[in-house]
Structure 1
Amino acid sequence: MSRQFSLKNIYALFLTFLIAGSGAAIAYLTGLPIPFLLGSMCSVTIASLSGIRIYLPVWLRNAVFIMLGLQAGSGVRPETLSQIGEWPLSFMLLFVMLVAVTGFTFMLLRYVFRWDAQTAFFSSLPGALSFVMAAASETRADLVKITIIQTVRLLLLIGLLAPVLNVLGQSAPHIDFVAGSGSQQKEWLWLFAAGGLGALIGHYSRLPGGMMLGALLASALVYVTGFVTVRVPPEMADFGMVVLGALIGSRVDARHRGAILNYLPVALMAFIVGTGTAAAICALAWLATGLHPAQIALAFAPGALEALTVIAFSLGVDPAYVASHHVVRFMMIAIFVPFLARSLRRMDEKQTAAQAEL
């Protein structure tokens, strides 16, 4: 028997589903917003921190990302394309938000909490955690601090943003996701073929959430052209949310308990500064573009491409606008981070040399 299908992994997978499903059910019954994502994430986070092994096989995560991408892409309509003319200004303000959030959070960590420049910088970047960790691992930055700051930010972002968006989203312009008619069997084949190819291209592009993004773009293409009209059943999307919540919650485990307690005050302050700055830029974007606040909040939120795109779909808000902004933000980070990290390394080296002379 392969390692992936060992009895130990099968048991851990069953336990993960039990914990995530129970949390999602409780959240649903108590009326929490985005219950399948939020309930699963909270229950799995608690279980993982308590020492329970959370396990999700790679094939399952990939399948769920593809399915969620297909679901989100079904929200794109021909009229969505007419809005693209409004997006350049939105992208410009997104860049302003990226610089402001990173800058203010960096100053907090660097000059208030006295962290070294490289650790403060990588901890300040809004989102793109996989890229940030990969880049930070090639420096002298403290990876534990970065992981805690970024993970706490992600958990708080989803946990606090979901209720706010649930209220804002009720008045947002909604996209109709009602299934269309036609030769459904043939359309299903075209949809899954396009989604699979898009996910494969997205995977090799190495973008954040590449498989989901690729499936989303491929799905959007076949829907916007009217080639496909069928819709992924909402029950499948609910299942995907449960798995996505478990994936987010599993980012921390028992090894991080001590570090979380030590760095939690710092993480909370960094979250307040970063989110407050992002909120101010969101308000400016709302005034400048006239787009709905829920749409802007989802697109400008600092991180979690997959989760925020799924939330956008569940609220009926344009997922193409949301996903495109998160991808552009990642590209901005990927382009500028190597140059800034090199400068900050020299800053740390000068500071170390100056302290050695004292």
Structure 2
Amino acid sequence: MNGMDWRRMVIALAAGLGGAAVAQLLGLAAAALIGSALAVTIVALLGLKPDIPNPLRNVAFCVISVSLGSGVTPDILAEISHWPLSILLLAVTVLVVMIVCGLILRLMFGADATTAALATSPGALSYTLALAADRNADLRFVMLLQSLRLFLITVLLPPMIGFANGGVGAGPAADVPHLHIGEVAVLLAVTYGLGMILTRLRFPAPYILAGLAVSGIAHATGIVAGRPADMVLFFGFSVTGAVIGARFTGFTLSEIKRLALAGFVSTAVAVAVSVAGAFAASGLLDLPFGQVWVSYAPGGVEGMTTMALALGYDPVYVATHHVFRILFLIGILPVMVGLFAAVGRKSGKT
């Protein structure tokens, strides 16, 4: 890592931890995640180029995923029996989001068919950008709209859930014990190692899956019981928020102003569709609406599972749905891009 990289990392960490601390003092829901994302986004738009290096990012994801694994209980098998229908409804929701938002971007904002399809993909960002480069889509349009969607959902979802719950937001369970520092160190080390292996095997969200497996098995078998200390979680939330905010590095204010309306409109429609899907699943399966909404929200798997943990929802349920969404998108995105392109050719647009 060169000197400039160190400077950018220090800027990102200073802004992220500072913003997280302020949000925590203000008593916001998912405070560390939201505060860090906001602060680092501001710093990025000021041109200071914050950056979180991949090893540090992966450590933070390990902290989050080890904490997610503490949600594994002996009742997990009975709970999983409700999930197939919930996952099916999620798949339908994803398809509706892509079709409706893609049409909006094409008809209202003049995006070409391929760019519209990829800009509305609710997740799988790395894969989406690879497809965008391969299919000659407008890469900056796709990246900026994806970043705006993730930022808006990360910042606005917790207060919206609190409003939907009558002003009462969920909170992390207070009765979960803390792991000893040695237990945390071993779990994180094993998770990081497995995450590296899964990365080489091209698994989606490898460090989240690794932590769920390692920590989940350790909790299910009674080897450990509890989650990392609050300060460790604060670090994980803050760095994850900084990763979200740092995505705005390299964009100018004029670019953001030009595409902001497209980002706001497409995100609002995507959220509305996810609300409808979550409402249906919640009613059919008798599950907490907020928990299903976080699971259906078109955000990144790391950000949404972090939010589930911060809000006190079943982390295994949420993580399972977001990992499925990534796998579903990997399979369906090329098909959707082809369909959009075919429709565009028939209508005289590309």
Normalized against structure 2, the TM-score is what?
Answer: 0.91
Pairing partner for 2:123 from 110, 124, 127: 127
| Residues 1:214 and 1:90: Cα distance change in structure 2 (over 3 Å) | same
| Residues 1:282 and 1:230: Cα distance change in structure 2 (over 3 Å) | closer
Aligned to 2:16: 20
Displacement of 1:44 in angstroms is: 0.6
After TM superposition, the structure 1 stretch with the greater mean CA deviation from structure 2, 204-213 or 76-85, is 204-213
* d(CA) in 2 for partners of 1:71, 1:332: 25
Aligned to 1:215: 211
Displacement of 1:195 in angstroms is: 2.0
Select the structure of larger CA radius of gyration: 1
Task: Confirm whether residue 310 of structure 1 aligns to residue 325 of structure 2.
Answer: no
Tell me the alpha carbon deviations over residues 84-139 of structure 1, each in whole angstroms, 9 at most, x when there is no partner: 10001101111110111111111211223332111111112112111111111111
Pairing partner for 1:66 from 41, 45, 62: 62
* d(CA) in 2 for partners of 1:199, 1:302: 24
Aligned to 1:245: 241
| Residues 1:110 and 1:325: Cα distance change in structure 2 (over 3 Å) | same
After TM superposition, the structure 1 stretch with the greater mean CA deviation from structure 2, 82-91 or 9-18, is 9-18
* d(CA) in 2 for partners of 1:91, 1:24: 33
Aligned to 1:292: 288
Task: Confirm whether residue 277 of structure 1 aligns to residue 279 of structure 2.
Answer: no
Displacement of 1:260 in angstroms is: 1.0
Tell me the alpha carbon deviations over residues 56-94 of structure 1, each in whole angstroms, 9 at most, x when there is no partner: 222211111112211111121111221010001101111
Task: Confirm whether residue 177 of structure 1 aligns to residue 183 of structure 2.
Answer: no
After TM superposition, the structure 1 stretch with the greater mean CA deviation from structure 2, 210-219 or 76-85, is 210-219
Displacement of 1:185 in angstroms is: 7.9
* d(CA) in 1 for partners of 2:188, 2:140: 40
Aligned to 1:337: 333
Pairing partner for 1:142 from 138, 144, 151: 138
Displacement of 1:230 in angstroms is: 4.7
Aligned-partner SS, 2:52 = coil
Displacement of 1:207 in angstroms is: 3.6
Give the letter for the 1:344 counterpart: F
Aligned-partner SS, 2:48 = coil
CA contact (8 A) 1:75 1:313 kept: no
Aligned-partner SS, 2:251 = helix
Displacement of 1:51 in angstroms is: 0.3
Aligned-partner SS, 2:222 = coil
Aligned-residue sequence identity (percent) comes to 31
* d(CA) in 2 for partners of 1:267, 1:318: 30
Give the letter for the 2:222 counterpart: G
* d(CA) in 2 for partners of 1:171, 1:15: 32
Pairing partner for 1:34 from 20, 30, 34: 30
Task: Confirm whether residue 111 of structure 1 aligns to residue 78 of structure 2.
Answer: no
Tell me the alpha carbon deviations over residues 281-333 of structure 1, each in whole angstroms, 9 at most, x when there is no partner: 11111111110012101111112111111121122211110010001111111
Pairing partner for 1:227 from 223, 226, 229: 223
* d(CA) in 1 for partners of 2:345, 2:317: 42
Unaligned runs of 5+ in 2: none
Displacement of 1:174 in angstroms is: 5.0
Displacement of 1:265 in angstroms is: 1.0
Aligned to 1:165: 161
| Residues 1:135 and 1:13: Cα distance change in structure 2 (over 3 Å) | same
| Residues 1:140 and 1:25: Cα distance change in structure 2 (over 3 Å) | same
Displacement of 1:254 in angstroms is: 4.5
Displacement of 1:279 in angstroms is: 0.7
After TM superposition, the structure 1 stretch with the greater mean CA deviation from structure 2, 86-95 or 18-27, is 18-27
Give the letter for the 1:279 counterpart: V
Give the letter for the 1:177 counterpart: V
Aligned-partner SS, 2:152 = helix
| Residues 1:83 and 1:325: Cα distance change in structure 2 (over 3 Å) | same
CA contact (8 A) 2:170 2:313 kept: no
Tell me the alpha carbon deviations over residues 158-190 of structure 1, each in whole angstroms, 9 at most, x when there is no partner: 11102233564746895852247xxx6875575
Give the letter for the 2:94 counterpart: L
| Residues 1:62 and 1:311: Cα distance change in structure 2 (over 3 Å) | same
Normalized against structure 1, the TM-score is what?
Answer: 0.89
Pairing partner for 1:199 from 185, 191, 195: 195
* d(CA) in 2 for partners of 1:198, 1:142: 35
Unaligned runs of 5+ in 1: none
* d(CA) in 2 for partners of 1:143, 1:186: 44
Displacement of 1:140 in angstroms is: 2.4
Aligned-partner SS, 2:75 = helix
Displacement of 1:200 in angstroms is: 2.7
